[in-house]
Structures are given as structure tokens and as C-alpha cells.
Amino acid sequence: GAVVSQHPSRVICKSGTSVKIECRSLDFQATTMFWYRQFPKKSLMLMATSNEGSKATYEQGVEKDKFLINHASLTLSTLTVTSAHPEDSSFYICSAGGAGEPYNEQFFGPGTRLTVL
């Protein structure tokens, strides 16, 4: 099956620094990638849609200047948490979709645990 990787799997950073999380589709080209945030024992909350070669579209309430998304190629999307604060600590999951029929099945990465001190 299709494989999506995320790097790093966990990261600890100091408040005020920026952190970059990578999402890669390893064996397929992803026209669209999605970024989710999951708080402990909670559901996945969609943050933004990352489209290759164009600007990301953000869900309501998500700060685009705080969470920068770049989808530079059909196999890589990055999420940069800028000027991180402790409240940004969370589990971030990406999903990548191909161009399938009848719909673009999404494949999920293993997630990245971010802890901001």
C-alpha cells in the first residue's frame, strides 16, 4: 500500500523557536496533502489543505502566519510552526492523497509529537 512518512517523529523545542515538520509520500505522487492536529485523547482537527505548486488553504481559526505550509513537490509538504509556544504542543498528522478514482484516498503519516518548553 501507499506509504506516507513524517519527520521528525517527535521534537522538543524552546518557546520562541520555529520547528519544521516534513510529510513525504514515499511511493506515490500526492496532488493534495492535509495537515491535522490532535490533542491528547481528542479527535483530529483539520488545519489546512496543501496543494502542490499553490498556496495552502487554511481552516477557519487556524493562523496562517503561525503555521506555514509549503508543498514544493508532489512528494513533500512541510509544516513550520513559527515562534512556537507551549500551547502549540500537540500531535501533528499529515495525510497525502493521490489521484485515484472514484476518489482520492488519503494515506496517513505516523504523526509528529511536538513539545514546546
Residue 54 within binding range of other proteins, rule CB under 8 A: no
Amino acid 22 reads E
For the record, the C-alpha cell of 110 comes out as 505516523
Interface with other proteins (CB under 8 A), residue from 14, 43, 53, 65: 43
CB of 16 to other proteins, least distance (A): 27
Nearer to other proteins, 21 or 111 (CB): 111
Question: In what order do the strands lie in the sheet containing 4-7?
Answer: 4-7, 19-25, 76-81, 67-73
Q: CA 29: distance to chain centroid?
A: 16
Nearer to other proteins, 104 or 115 (CB): 104
Strand positions, DSSP E, 9-111: 10-13, 19-25, 32-38, 44-51, 57-58, 67-73, 76-81, 90-97, 106-108
CB of 37 to other proteins, least distance (A): 12
CB of 105 to other proteins, least distance (A): 8
Residues of the shown chain interacting with other proteins in the complex, contacts defined by CB under 8 A: 32, 34, 38, 41-44, 46, 49, 91, 93, 95, 97, 102-104, 106, 108, 110-111
